[in-house]
Amino acid sequence: KNEVEQSPQNLTAQEGEFITINCSYSVGISALHWLQQHPGGGIVSLFMLSSGKKKHGRLIATINIQEKHSSLHITASHPRDSAVYICAVLGGNTGNQFYFGTGTSLTVIP
């Protein structure tokens, strides 16, 4: 059983579409991270949040602690958004355990 589940696993969108990627987790957490991994393998941290909502450019991340769920939204999607998006949480029994989702592979077609 994975402590962090993401959906969908794969997503193809037309340029300009609004995109939502979901993350559900089963452990208590102190923080949730959204990461972006490009085809070359490098990973960039997009957001870190423990409550509410954060916005950066066309990206919006929300978290609902009670429902143990987070969403990453991309508005006006662009081909350069094509990447794997990974949800990660820090928590568990010790509070110091990292759990990673397997990622959502996004392809935006021009």
In the complex with other proteins, the residue whose CB is nearer, 61 or 77, is: 61
Among 41, 78, 71, CA closest to 57: 78
| Three-class DSSP category at 50 | coil
68: left (phi over 0), alpha (psi -120 to 50) or beta: left
Site residues, other proteins (CB under 8 A): 2, 4, 29-33, 35, 40-45, 48, 50, 86, 88-91, 96, 98-103
Is 17 or 69 the residue whose CB approaches other proteins more closely?
Answer: 69
CB of 50 to other proteins, least distance (A): 8
The residue to which tokens 């978290």 are assigned: 63
Q: Least distance in Å: CB of 15 to other proteins? A: 27
